[in-house]
Structure 1
């Protein structure tokens, strides 16, 4: 009996030592290994960790020629000024793969993307698809960041509520009858925004209509702004906001804007934020700092509607 107790004690002791070692190995793995045993979604739901709704990712799309020195300099400068943001750079091939994989459940979206006649149409559509699926910030290659960090672009009271952030392209100094469209060279969005989805569905419907009618314009380059560009984008956002409030959102509600304005969960930035060079303010106007500068390279404005 004594021998049996000694054997059991020894076996238990060995098991205890082994268990202790295993326990501390797990602890070390969890707290030292860079891949933790929980996800960001877990921490958000538990309240342990919170952050902006709009991911800290800046999306760029390059054409067959890639970056030129100037666009690369603008991108690098923006990332230096915003070290917590990371760049996501898509080529034509990566863009096609993204669409196929991210929208496998929506064959109509995939068909629309590959049916669009010009590279600039695809580039417009791709930015909306990316911002809907992944969220973040879209930036055209001819956009540079000014000195205000992206984390300070929005008033604090808007940051946790903002679903989409857009900036007026034409507003002050353009008269009362100008179409006040939103710039599409810089757009911010949280993932799965219904407003971005409305823009996407509008383009899908428009492409289906022109395809079925057989009335695709012979010179599609003249239709870019309306078909996939800023006017289409602006109309889609306003229609979606109208649906959200069971009414109509009129551009009159954000004319001559001098500070950011939130309508439902969409923040509209004044003209000086994303388009300072084309909005002319009176000296008496108190305006904030420009956030980005659009250099109007217009590389798509050629017969092929693609990178020059």
Structure 2
């Protein structure tokens, strides 16, 4: 005759099943998320820790606004994700970005935390976040309106430069603009090893700029408005990136300034110190015009920027409604 199962054992078994289900649900929530546009977004994680081989980590960073992905940005980001299966990727949100900055820098750089969390202008936060992520974690930053042109990311840095390149940038404006143009690196696509001193210089310059502007206008960081900071491209965008990188590079090379004649009008990648500068056709083919006789010798277009310009409004980007 079968003896009745003790009630305590039954309770333990029931609790174990419920606990297992809860853990499973939490894991699924951690890996999968629904963005505000109703799309299912995979936050891919490496199956194992990335090897610390001193190279640029194989991870693509994205930042979602409150509206999430659109049909266009889903297609553009998928072209890079699906075409580079060996790369992890992560879609940061306003909430996860705030949490990461607070956790990562609370003890070491409270000035960064105060500046970042205090900002209410979306594009300023997005710009600062990209530099922070790459400086601390390394990898590849890509804006949502960038699509890949079918060239594997593994080949973006020529073999002869991979051991030396700690930061990879590409010209946005270089060839076909004359000499009066203000040249700048693209900020929509940047590649870096963790710890780049040049990106830390950019971060420090932005934090100092925020402190200066709040003092100038007698406001808190949250009180900063677009009309107070001037041009975004100068304050946190590509011109700020370009100035900071070249300033830091000159310091590390112990020169007064980087000779622009040595790094402009590029038709092939140029390594200066540990910064690899790619020609305009790499990240910004549509923004550069090359002489007909040069075109056959140029390398491939790596990405296409679609200039969605979601930050160009009175709010400085998407805001939650």
- Measured in 2, the distance between the counterparts of 1:254 and 1:53 equals 23
C-alpha distance in 2, partners of 1:195/1:271? 20
Matched, 1:121 2:124: yes
CA contact (8 A) 1:171 1:279 kept: yes
Which of 242, 247, 269 is the aligned partner of 1:239?
A: 247
String of CA shifts for 1:184-222, please: whole Å, max 9, x gaps: 000000001111100000001111111122266662575
3-state SS, counterpart of residue 93 of structure 1: helix
Largest Rg, 1 or 2: 1
Cα deviation for residue 154 of structure 1 reads: 1.3
**TM-score (normalizing by structure 1):** 0.82
Distance in 2 (alpha carbons) for counterparts of 1:223 and 1:172: 23
Equivalent residue for 2:293?
A: 284
1:39-62: CA deviations, max 9, x gaps? 766xx5xxxxx4x61000000000
Name the CA distance, whole Å, in 2 between partners of 1:218 and 1:279.
Answer: 29
Structure 1 runs, 4 residues or longer, greater than 3 Å off: 215-218
Structure with the higher fraction of residues in helix conformation: 1
SS in 1 for 2:231: helix
Q: Is contact 1:221-1:305 (8 Å) kept?
A: no
Q: Distance in 2 between matches of 1:76 and 1:214?
A: 42
8 Å contact kept, 2:121–2:226:
no
- Greater Cα shift, 85-94 or 112-121: 112-121
Find the aligned partners of 2:240 and 2:270 in 1 and give their Cα distance. Answer: 21
**2:164, 2:204 → 1: CA distance?**
24
Secondary structure (helix, strand or coil) at the match of 2:129 reads helix
1:88/1:238 CA distance change after superposition, 3 Å? same
Tell me how large the CA RMSD over aligned residues is: 1.9
Contact 1:166 1:269 in 2 (8 A): yes
Matching residue of 1:24: none
1:252-285 Cα distance to aligned partner (Å, 9 max, x none): 2212100000000000000000000010001111
Q: Residue 98 of structure 1: CA displacement?
A: 0.7
Aligned to 1:153: 156
Residue by residue over 1:232-266, the C-alpha shift from the partner in whole angstroms, topping out at 9 and shown as x without a partner, is: 01000000001001111132221210000000000
Instruction: Give the unaligned 5+ runs of structure 2.
Output: 1-46, 219-223
Q: Is the 8 A contact 2:217 2:228 kept in 1?
A: no
Matches within 5 A, 1:48-127: 50=53, 53-104=55-106, 105-127=108-130
Q: Distance in 1 between matches of 2:226 and 2:189?
A: 29
Tell me how far apart the structure 2 counterparts of residues 77 and 40 of structure 1 sit (CA, whole Å): 23
Task: Check conservation: 1:113, 1:125, Cα contact below 8 A.
Answer: yes
**Residues 213 and 228 in structure 2, CA contact (< 8 A), matched pair in contact too:** no
The two structures have a TM-score, normalised by structure 2, of 0.79
Aligned length: 265
Q: Which moved more, 1:112-121 or 1:180-189?
A: 112-121
